[in-house]
C-alpha cells in the first residue's frame, strides 16, 4: 500500500516527465524526471544494479517538501528512472525526507536510512523542528517505512555535549565485515559547531550512540552536512559538506566540500585527521556521497550545484539540478584524487588529436568543438603568461578556463555563460605543473564541464546554461605555448 502523498508524486512524475525535451537534459548526468533535485542519497549496489536516490521535489523547479527520487543503472552512466521512492507522509517526516543513504541487507532487502524532519503546527519557527533518523525497507522499487521510526534522535546522543535537534541529519550507513552496522550523521553542538556523530547497531534497527567521530570545534564552518566515511587503501576518509565557512585560503566563503585523510580507531570510535583539503575546487559541487562497487572501486557522486547559486532559477525551467559524473577516488601522494569512472571510455566515439601545436594569440582547431566530449590537453606553458580556453563558445557566449603559468593558477570564469544574475561565476584554483606540463581532462555534457587537473589531483566543476548552438572551443595565448590535444566525442 502506498500513501496518497507518494501516489500523488508518482502520478505527477509519470504525467510530466515527458514535458522535458531531450535538449533540456544532459546526456549522461542524472537529472530529476521533473522538478527539483539536490543531494545524492542512498547510493548503493543492490541486486546487480547501482541505485541512486536524490532529494526531490517533483512539483516545482524549486526546493520544497523533500521526497526521494530514484534511478538505477548497471554502468553508472545510463540510468533508468524509477518511481519516486519515499514521500513525506508520516508525522515524523511531515516536513520532508531529508538526505541519507542505502544498504543491501544480508536478508535480501534494500534499506534506506534518511532524516525525517518533523514540525509541529505547520512550522512556525525553526525551534518547532526536529530532525531524526528513520529507515525504510524495500525491494528496489517500493519502500515501506519502519513502524518504529524514528530510530535515532538527538536525545540519544549521550556524551554530555549533545546538540541541537533542528540540525541532526544525513546518516551514512555501512556494515563492517563482522556484521556490525555503523552510521555517521551530521550534528551541531549547542555552540553551533558541526560534529560527525557515530552510531552502532547489530541489526540496523536498534542504534546506540558510539562517539563523536570528528568535529569542527569552531574551525571549519558551522554545520557539517552529509558526512561520508570509508576506508581507502589502509587510511580512512571523512568527507563533509561545510556551511558558513569564512575564507581561509584553502576554502572559499560559504558552502564548501572537504575531505580529511586520517586514522580510525574502532575501540574509541575516533577519527584522527591528518590532513584536510577541498574536494572540488570549482563552482558547482556539493553533498557528495560514495559507494563501494563490487569490484572494489570507491565511487563518489555529488550534486552538481551549490546552495549559494541554487535560488537563481529561471522561470521557464522544468527541471533544476543534476548530479556530477560518478568519480573513482583513490589515494596518491597523500591526497585523494578523482577520475571519471572508466566506463565513460566505452562511450568514446571519433577522436581528433593534435601533437605539440603552437598557440600564440587566438587559435581554433579543425574538429575541436562540441558540447558532449572528453578532451585531454597537455599544456607546455613555455613563454605564455596566460592561456585561455573558451568552451561552449560562439560570438556571444563562452565559459573560460584560464591558466596563468607564472602564478600557478587555473581560473574558471562562466560570467559569459548565459546567466543574467550576479552570483558566483569565478574561482581560482592553485595548480602545479608535472614535468613542466599542466594536464587538463575536460568532460563536457551539454551544460557542464568537469575538469580533472593532472590526472585528478584537483577537480573543478562548473555549470552553464548556454544555448546548445554555442559549441566552439577557442584557444587564446598571451605569449607562446604548445599543447597536445586529444578529443573524443561521447556517444549515448
Enumerate the β-bridge partners of residue 415. Answer: none
Nearer to ligand FRU, 308 or 454 (CB): 308
**CB 131 to ligand FRU: min, Å:** 8
Beta strands in 120-207 (DSSP E): 129-138, 143-145, 169-175, 181-188, 194-201
Closest CA to 389 of 478, 309, 465, 296: 478
Cell of 383: 613563454
Nearer to ligand FRU, 230 or 285 (CB): 285
Round to whole Å and give the CA distance between 310 and 329: 26
**CB 101 to ligand FRU: min, Å:** 11
**CB 228 to ligand FRU: min, Å:** 12
Nearer to ligand FRU, 50 or 303 (CB): 303
Nearer to ligand FRU, 164 or 375 (CB): 164
Contact 35, 298 (CB under 8 A): no
Nearer to ligand FRU, 50 or 54 (CB): 54
Q: Under 8 Å CB-to-CB from 469, ≥6 apart: which residues? A: 394
**CB 320 to ligand FRU: min, Å:** 13
Cell of 402: 584560464
**CB 418 to ligand FRU: min, Å:** 24
**CB 38 to ligand FRU: min, Å:** 5
Round to whole Å and give the CA distance between 440 and 434: 12
The sign of the torsion formed by the CA atoms of 72, 77, 80, 84 equals positive
Round to whole Å and give the CA distance between 85 and 53: 8
**CB 96 to ligand FRU: min, Å:** 7
Enumerate the β-bridge partners of residue 357. Answer: 483
Nearer to ligand FRU, 289 or 448 (CB): 289
Closest CA to 38 of 322, 456, 255, 362: 322
Which of the following is catalytic: 11, 19, 39, 455?
39
Cell of 16: 510530466
Q: What are the φ and ψ backbone dihedral angles of 43, each rounded to 5 degrees? A: -70, 115
The sign of the torsion formed by the CA atoms of 426, 62, 16, 101 equals positive
**CB 463 to ligand FRU: min, Å:** 16
Round to whole Å and give the CA distance between 39 and 47: 23
Enumerate the β-bridge partners of residue 49. Answer: 46
Q: Is 9 helix (H, G, I), strand (E, B) or coil?
A: helix
Round to whole Å and give the CA distance between 116 and 135: 9
Nearer to ligand FRU, 61 or 416 (CB): 61
Closest CA to 184 of 205, 162, 200, 161: 200
Nearer to ligand FRU, 224 or 397 (CB): 224
Pairing of strands 35-46, 319-320: parallel
Contact 405, 468 (CB under 8 A): no
**CB 225 to ligand FRU: min, Å:** 4
User: How many residues does the structure list for the chain?
Assistant: 492
The footprint of ligand FRU (CB under 6 A) covers 38-39, 55, 66, 98-99, 115, 169-170, 225-226, 286-287
Contact 259, 271 (CB under 8 A): no
For cell 524514528, what's the residue? Answer: 150
Nearer to ligand FRU, 236 or 286 (CB): 286
Round to whole Å and give the CA distance between 22 and 61: 17
Per the annotation, the verdict on 39 as an active-site residue is yes
Report the catalytic residues: 39
Amino acid at each position: 500500500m502506498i500513501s496518497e502523498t507518494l501516489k500523488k508524486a508518482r502520478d505527477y512524475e509519470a504525467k510530466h516527465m515527458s514535458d522535458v525535451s531531450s535538449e533540456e537534459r544532459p546526456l549522461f548526468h542524472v537529472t530529476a524526471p521533473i522538478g527539483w533535485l539536490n543531494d545524492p542519497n542512498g547510493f548503493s549496489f543492490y541486486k546487480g544494479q547501482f541505485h541512486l536516490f536524490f532529494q526531490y521535489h517533483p512539483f516545482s523547479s524549486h526546493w520544497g517538501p523533500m521526497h526521494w527520487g530514484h534511478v538505477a543503472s548497471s554502468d553508472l552512466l545510463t540510468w533508468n528512472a524509477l518511481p519516486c521512492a519515499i514521500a513525506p507522509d508520516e508525522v515524523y517526516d511531515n516536513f520532508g525526507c531529508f538526505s541519507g543513504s542505502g544498504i543491501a541487507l544480508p536478508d535480501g532487502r534494500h534499506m534506506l536510512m534518511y532524516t525525517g524532519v518533523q514540525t509541529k503546527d505547520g512550522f512556525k519557527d525553526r525551534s518547532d523542528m526536529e530532525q531524526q533518523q528513520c529507515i525504510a525497507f524495500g525491494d528496489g522499487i517500493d519502500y515501506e517505512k519502519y513502524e518504529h521510526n524514528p530510530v535515532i534522535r538527538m536525545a540519544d546522543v549521550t556524551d554530555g555535549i549533545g546538540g541541537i535537534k533542528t540540525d541532526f541529519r544525513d546518516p551514512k550507513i555501512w556494515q563492517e565485515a563482522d556484521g556490525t552496522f555503523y552510521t555517521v550523521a551530521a550534528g551541531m553542538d549547542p555552540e553551533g559547531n558541526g560534529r560527525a556523530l557515530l552510531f552502532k547497531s547489530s541489526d540496523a534497527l536498534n542504534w546506540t550512540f558510539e562517539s563523536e567521530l570528528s568535529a569542527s570545534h569552531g574551525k571549519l564552518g558551522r554545520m557539517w552536512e552529509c558526512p561520508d566515511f570509508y576506508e581507502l587503501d589502509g587510511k580512512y576518509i571523512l568527507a563533509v559538506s561545510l556551511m558558513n565557512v569564512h575564507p581561509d585560503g584553502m576554502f572559499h566563503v560559504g558552502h564548501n566540500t572537504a575531505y580529511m585523510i586520517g586514522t580510525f580507531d574502532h575501540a574509541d570510535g575516533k577519527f584522527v585527521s591528518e590532513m584536510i583539503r577541498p574536494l572540488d575546487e570549482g563552482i558547482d559541487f556539493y553533498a557528495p556521497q560514495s559507494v563501494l562497487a563490487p569490484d572494489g572501486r570507491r565511487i563518489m557522486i555529488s550534486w552538481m550545484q551549490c546552495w549559494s547559486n541554487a535560488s537563481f532559477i529561471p522561470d521557464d525551467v522544468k527541471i533544476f539540478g543534476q548530479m556530477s559524473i560518478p568519480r573513482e577516488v583513490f589515494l596518491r601522494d597523500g591526497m585523494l584524487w578523482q577520475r571519471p569512472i572508466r566506463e565513460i571510455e566505452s562511450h568514446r566515439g571519433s577522436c581528433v588529436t593534435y601533437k605539440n601545436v603552437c598557440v600564440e594569440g587566438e587559435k581554433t582547431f579543425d574538429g575541436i568543438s562540441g558540447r558532449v566530449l572528453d578532451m585531454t590537453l597537455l599544456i607546455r606553458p613555455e613563454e605564455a603568461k596566460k592561456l585561455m580556453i573558451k568552451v561552449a563558445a560562439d560570438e556571444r557566449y563562452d565559459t573560460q578556463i584560464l591558466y596563468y603559468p607564472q602564478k600557478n593558477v587555473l581560473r574558471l570564469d562562466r560570467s559569459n555563460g548565459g546567466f543574467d544574475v550576479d552570483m558566483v561565476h569565478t574561482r581560482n584554483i592553485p595548480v602545479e605543473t608535472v614535468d613542466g606540463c599542466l594536464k587538463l581532462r575536460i568532460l563536457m555534457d551539454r551544460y557542464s564541464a568537469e575538469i580533472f587537473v593532472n590526472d585528478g589531483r584537483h577537480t573543478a566543476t562548473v555549470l552553464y546554461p548556454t544555448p546548445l548552438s554555442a559549441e566552439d572551443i577557442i584557444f587564446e595565448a598571451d605569449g607562446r605555448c604548445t599543447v597536445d590535444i586529444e578529443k573524443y566525442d561521447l556517444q549515448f
